[in-house]
Amino acid sequence: MDKQENIQNDTNFNSPLGVGGKLGVGGIDNFGFYGEFGGAYIPEILHGTVERLKEAFYAIKDDASFKSEYYDLLKNYVGRPSPLYFAKRLSAVYGTNIYLKREDLNHTGAHKINNALGQILLARRMGKTRIIAETGAGQHGVATATACALMGLECIVFMGKTDVERQFLNVQKMRMLGATVEPVTCGNMTLKDATNEAIRYWCSNPDSFYIIGSTVGPHPYPDMVGFFQSVISEEIKWQLLEQIGRDYPDYLMACVGGGSNAMGTYYHYINDDRVQIISAEAGGLGIETGETAATISIGTVGIIHGFRTLLMQDEDGQITEPYSISAGLDYPGIGPAHAYFAKVGRTKVHAINDDEALEAAFELTRLEGIIPAIESAHALALLKKEKDTFKTNDIVVLTVSGRGDKDMDTYVKYFTPNP
Ligand SMILES: *Cc1c(COP(=O)(O)O)cnc(C)c1O
């Protein structure tokens, strides 16, 4: 499975993010590697299934009829384009020009629906009738169950039992949408275990279509999910041109869990070195405390869920349980593209601690009247980290990946509302 030789022999490899030759967007090669990260480490029994998925995806990727079907849904069902909003009062605080990409305004409240719809259209074209998915906090589960209701397809969502109890509202939504929620009782009963169980089920039922919710998993998933989220930067380009007369920002910022909203935000700018890219990962209580999900900061190379990446693991290769205040960011791995971008210096990464994210969430709420998802608040906290580097004429585009309704329990614990 190790295709390292092929990568090293590729003359484009040293132009880190080239799109020429064999390399695709983000520097991915034909085997799904971004440098040393990525690939497809899957059991033999899934080989044919994943091959057919790859063929089907690369066949429809640039197909005009697929694109028109997909874009019609994005427009009329999701409500795209999402606004690119100039945040005037926030900009004044940071002495620069901050534009927010409002993925929080999408149907179902976050960017995840973009990907769920893309994959379900692909599944339908492949003649699949049963969809499976994993979910942690339940956001991807809800997006997938929504897409399945829309298409009239069977939906099974694997979810750790701990998460089923913690995220009961999302469980109720999935059930109302007609999905079967399978509580997973092995391991810590969280996202990692739910993903293992989904893969196990997929091995025994390879006719199912597995909708993965982020830029993780075996090739082609990271590339495919990134592609379905790339509408975010496609819109940023023309929206900037319309609003400021040029189609690129000086800074792009997003939070990274598995990396899908970030990949969508960066996609059309990866090879544009006028654009500095800064990612936020979840520092939890602090990277030195061990209570963290800051994979890029403290991870080491390993294999999880079918791909090679940076992982939080002990010396024996046992995955350590990540911690973050944000359920959407506490994954022990990270999308292979983001591991690669950080390694070659294309992105700068800050670990944002719980308290910094909370502060940023309250700041945005009070300055702009937007309650962000706690995941997105990690991206907002980057503004404070980078404040001294901003110039008054700089253009900063920051993706607000989701809305904060789901996080109100967390937020109210940290403040006393006005009496
Ligand atoms: C799931 C989620 C994330 C993290 O996932 P990525 O794949 O890294 O984008 C971020 N923000 C919100 C609102 C989410 O629901």
For ligand 1, whether the C-beta of 375 sits within 6 Å is yes
* Segment 99-123 mean pLDDT: 98
For ligand 1, whether the C-beta of 25 sits within 6 Å is no
For ligand 1, whether the C-beta of 309 sits within 6 Å is no
The CATH number of 81-110+231-414 is 3.40.50.1100
pLDDT in tens, 387-412: 999 999 999 999 999 999 999 999 99
Nearest CA to ligand 1 atom 3: 328
Nearest CA to ligand 1 atom 10: 375
Task: Indicate whether 10 pLDDT > 90.
Answer: no
For ligand 1, whether the C-beta of 257 sits within 6 Å is yes
Q: Distance (Å, rounded) from C-alpha 341 to C-alpha 11? A: 18
Mutate which of 107, 112, 134 for ligand 1 pocket (most atoms within 8 A of beta carbon) = 112
For ligand 1, whether the C-beta of 80 sits within 6 Å is no
pTM, to two decimals: 0.94
**If you measure from the C-alpha of residue 21 to the centroid of ligand 1, how many angstroms do you get, rounded to a whole number?**
31
For ligand 1, whether the C-beta of 376 sits within 6 Å is yes
Q: What ligand 1 atom has the least distance to the C-alpha of 373?
A: 13
* Segment 36-59 mean pLDDT: 96
For ligand 1, whether the C-beta of 380 sits within 6 Å is no
255, 286 Cβ separation under 8 angstroms: no
Phi, psi (rounded to 5 degrees) for 405: -50, -45
CB count, 10 Å around CB of 172?
13
**If you measure from the C-alpha of residue 418 to the centroid of ligand 1, how many angstroms do you get, rounded to a whole number?**
30
**If you measure from the C-alpha of residue 211 to the centroid of ligand 1, how many angstroms do you get, rounded to a whole number?**
15
183 SS3 class: strand
**If you measure from the C-alpha of residue 284 to the centroid of ligand 1, how many angstroms do you get, rounded to a whole number?**
16
* Segment 42-48 mean pLDDT: 95
Q: Can you give the C-alpha Rg of the chain in angstroms?
A: 20
For ligand 1, whether the C-beta of 372 sits within 6 Å is no
344, 16 Cβ separation under 8 angstroms: yes
Nearest CA to ligand 1 atom 4: 257
Which pLDDT does position 8 carry in this prediction?
34
Q: Distance (Å, rounded) from C-alpha 172 to C-alpha 152? A: 19
Token readout for 21 is: 């030759």
User: Which residue has better confidence, 27 or 256?
Assistant: 256
- Looking at residue 80, what DSSP letter applies? P
**If you measure from the C-alpha of residue 260 to the centroid of ligand 1, how many angstroms do you get, rounded to a whole number?**
7
Q: Residue 184 pairs with which residues in a beta bridge?
A: 160
CB count, 10 Å around CB of 153?
18
Which pLDDT does position 419 carry in this prediction?
58
For ligand 1, whether the C-beta of 258 sits within 6 Å is yes
105, 82 Cβ separation under 8 angstroms: yes
Q: Which position has the token pair 């008054």?
A: 392
235, 241 Cβ separation under 8 angstroms: no
Handedness of CA 333, 336, 341, 344 (dihedral sign): positive
What residue type is assigned to position 249 of the chain? P
Please give the positions annotated as active site.
112, 134, 401
Residue closest to 237 by CA, chosen among 250, 249, 223:
249
**If you measure from the C-alpha of residue 227 to the centroid of ligand 1, how many angstroms do you get, rounded to a whole number?**
16
* Segment 163-168 mean pLDDT: 90
CATH 3.40.50.1100 placement within the chain: 34-70+112-226, 81-110+231-414
Average pLDDT, the chain: 93
The CATH number of 34-70+112-226 is 3.40.50.1100
pLDDT in tens, 214-255: 999 999 999 999 999 999 999 999 999 999 999 999 999 999
Mutate which of 195, 260, 341 for ligand 1 pocket (most atoms within 8 A of beta carbon) = 260
Q: Give percent helix, percent strand, percent coil of the chain, each to the nearest 5.
A: 50, 20, 35
